[in-house]
Every structure is written in C-alpha cells, then in structure tokens.
C-alpha cells in the first residue's frame, strides 16, 4: 500500500516580520531614551521671584556711617551688568532697590545705611584680569580719592581669562580655553601676582580706607566640566584650571586684611546647565532653576539678584569696620585741628 506524503515548507515570513518589528521597536526605544536624556539636559527652567540667600533686615534698622562712601565696581561683564537693564545689575541693586523690588528686600540697600554713598562702575564686559590691572592703574578712569572718602569695592575678575577665546584660537594667557593644566600653571602664577598688585593698587587710591569684596568664579556646568554648548569644543582640564583660579582668588583674601571673599562659585552650583537633573549632587530641590543668561556665561535677572544678596551679606558682615571709620576720621580731624 502506497501512501502519498504532502510535504509542506514552513512559512518564515511571520517570524521575519516579528524580528524586523522587534528590531525597529528597540531602535525607537533607544532613540527615545537618548532624546529624553537630551531634552532633560536642555531643560533649564528660569523660575520667578527672589533668588539667592536670605538677607536679614535687622542690620538695616539704623545708619552705619555718615561718612562719604564710594561704591566702586571693578571687573568684567558680571559687574558691568551685561544682559539686564541698569537698575537690575547687582551693583545698582546694592546701592538702591530697583523698581518692583521683592518684598523681602524692600529697604535693604546700602543707601539706607550709608546716606552719603555714591557709585562708580568702571567694569567692562569682555575684560580679563589683565585689563582690570590696567583699569586700576588708570587715574583718568579711577582717580585717587579724597581722604574723607571710604571705599566699598565690589569685584569680579578672572572668568574671562578662562573662557576666551572659546577654543577658537590656541590657548594663551587671558584666553585659556582648551589649555592643559601644565600650560596654564605659569598663567595661574601670574594671576596670583596680578591680583596682589590690584588689591594694593586699589587700596593706595583710597587714603581714607577701603574694603574690597572679591568674588570667585562660578561654573555654569555645575561641576561637571562638560562643554556648556554644542558649539564649543571639549576642554578636559577645565575644572582643574577653574579650581586653581578660584584657589588663587580665595588665597588673596587671606593675604590682605581689607579683602573679603564672596562665595559666588558655591552659590551658583546647581543653577547652571544641569539645574533640572535631580540625580546630580549639585541639584537644588528648593530652587532647581537656571541663573544664567542665554549666552551661558553671564547671569540672568535672578542670577543678578542672587549676586546682589551675596555681596550685600558680605558687606553686612563688615559693617562694624565701616562704622569704625567715622571714629577714626573724627580722631584724625581732632588731631589736625590741635
């Protein structure tokens, strides 16, 4: 008996289609994950309202000094107030409250406690510490003050030394972007010497005494050290050089009795390009917002509020030294009168 067997060939098309669409789905998921990470990285909420540390109202309840005081701004675009209207830069906000001031800061300004204060801002956007040394020596830009004038100097210097020329030219002093730490070491040593010379030069122009409030350099990468823009080349040693520059700035305040550190770097961590990334050690759950301008190197309006509060708190800590100047001036006048 002969039996015919029907031979069937398995249809591989369904299996192939399942494999194909599985691969497609995996690719789409991988791409979605990358896009999600990218979008989170680009998400930089600015927020609204006050920014920065609390400022106590108590020190502003009475006048500190009736003496003539000059509030002098020296430095780069941070002190020049790049990116905001004049009343909202930090130097102006130190002097007087701007329009629309936050309720917690109403009346908390230097004119409220130093009624005879005036202001001079010689800062220049884009300038480096090399320029600042020249500005201080320039008697036309910054003349020697009268003996009855006390100086309150607010200063930001060094940031542009690091970021210029954004990797578009070989690194050099004053334009160090892309340098190795070894390349930068002599420039860092020069910065140390230049800072000392600037502090002495400022003090020499205030025979009536002065206090210099010197900020360190903030970091828009929130301590990561990655290129803050896709248009900038990577800079492997950037954090090492930034840390070295900030160490020099802080050391300077220990060598000069009238120079006070303003911790801008610490205050701005967590408010840079990674501000929304909750897994970062620098994440600020109380205010996970971006304090920088669209150019990534200058503050936005809330960043300037924060800087104003940092400098104001530093000045408040020295109010007894400022008030003591009245007594010293009285003794000097009495001595000369006799």
Q: pLDDT tens digit string along 88-125?
A: 999 999 999 999 999 999 999 999 999 999 999 999 99
The total number of structural domains that make up the chain: 1
Q: Per residue in 201-235, pLDDT tens?
A: 999 999 999 999 999 999 999 999 998 887 889 99
Tell me if 279 is assigned to some domain: yes
Tell me if 121 is assigned to some domain: yes
Residue 28 confidence class, pLDDT cut points 50, 70, 90: low
Residue 26: is its pLDDT beyond 90?
Answer: no
Q: Per residue in 136-195, pLDDT tens?
A: 999 999 999 999 999 999 999 999 999 999 999 999 999 999 999 999 999 999 999 999
Residue 20 confidence class, pLDDT cut points 50, 70, 90: low
Q: Per residue in 308-319, pLDDT tens?
A: 999 999 999 999
| Residue 244 contacts residue 195 (beta carbons within 8 Å) | no
pLDDT averaged over every residue in the chain? 90
| CATH number of the CATH domain containing 202 | 3.40.50.1110
Distance CA 186, CA 161 (A): 13
What residues contact residue 202 under an 8 Å CB cut-off, 6+ apart?
72, 74, 136, 151, 153, 210, 212
- Provide the pLDDT for residue 231: 80
Residue 257: is its pLDDT beyond 80?
Answer: yes
Tell me if 195 is assigned to some domain: yes
**Which residue, chain included where needed, has tokens 């999600």?**
36
Distance CA 13, CA 21 (A): 12
Tell me if 59 is assigned to some domain: no
Tell me if 257 is assigned to some domain: yes
CA distances from 145 to 18, 238, 326, 335 (A): 83, 39, 17, 21
Residues 327, 309, 195, 160: what is their CA dihedral angle, to the nearest 10 degrees?
A: -160
Count of C-beta atoms within a 10 Å radius of residue 7 = 5
Domain of 162 in residue numbering reads as 68-337
Q: Per residue in 266-306, pLDDT tens?
A: 999 999 999 999 999 999 999 999 999 999 999 999 999 99
Tell me if 206 is assigned to some domain: yes
pTM over 0.75, yes/no: yes
Tell me if 42 is assigned to some domain: no
Tell me if 55 is assigned to some domain: no
* Residue 115, token pair as written in the block: 């009624």
Distance CA 181, CA 317 (A): 36
């Amino acid at each position: 008996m002969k039996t015919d067997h029907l031979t069937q060939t398995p249809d591989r098309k369904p299996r192939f289609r399942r494999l194909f669409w599985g691969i497609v789905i995996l690719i789409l998921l991988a791409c979605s994950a990358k896009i999600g990470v990218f979008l989170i990285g680009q998400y930089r909420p600015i927020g609204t309202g006050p920014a920065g540390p609390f400022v106590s109202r108590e020190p502003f309840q009475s006048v500190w000094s009736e003496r003539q005081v000059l509030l002098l701004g020296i430095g780069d675009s941070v002190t020049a107030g790049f990116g905001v209207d004049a009343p909202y830069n930090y130097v102006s906000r130190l002097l007087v409250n701007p329009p629309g001031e936050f309720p917690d800061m109403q009346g908390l300004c230097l004119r409220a406690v130093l009624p005879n204060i005036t202001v001079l801002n010689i800062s220049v956007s884009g300038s480096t510490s090399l320029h600042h040394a020249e500005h201080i020596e320039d008697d036309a830009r910054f003349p020697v003050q009268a003996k009855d004038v006390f100086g309150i100097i607010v200063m930001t210097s060094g940031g542009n030394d690091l970021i210029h020329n954004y990797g578009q030219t070989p690194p050099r002093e004053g334009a160090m972007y892309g340098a190795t730490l070894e390349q930068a070491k002599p420039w860092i040593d020069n910065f140390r010497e230049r800072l000392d010379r600037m502090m002495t030069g400022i003090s020499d122009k205030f025979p009536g005494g002065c206090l210099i409030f010197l900020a360190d350099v903030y970091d828009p990468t929130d301590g990561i050290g990655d290129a803050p823009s896709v248009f900038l080349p990577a800079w492997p040693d950037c954090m090492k050089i930034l840390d070295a520059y900030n160490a020099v700035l802080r050391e300077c305040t220990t060598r000069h009795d009238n120079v006070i550190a303003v911790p801008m770097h610490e205050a701005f961590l967590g408010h840079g390009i990674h501000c929304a990334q909750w897994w970062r050690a620098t994440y600020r759950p109380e205010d996970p917002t971006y304090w920088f301008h669209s150019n990534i190197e200058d503050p936005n309006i809330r960043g300037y509020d924060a800087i104003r509060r940092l400098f104001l708190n530093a000045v408040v800590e020295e109010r007894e030294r400022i008030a003591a100047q009245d007594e010293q001036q009285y003794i000097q006048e009495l001595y000369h009168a006799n």
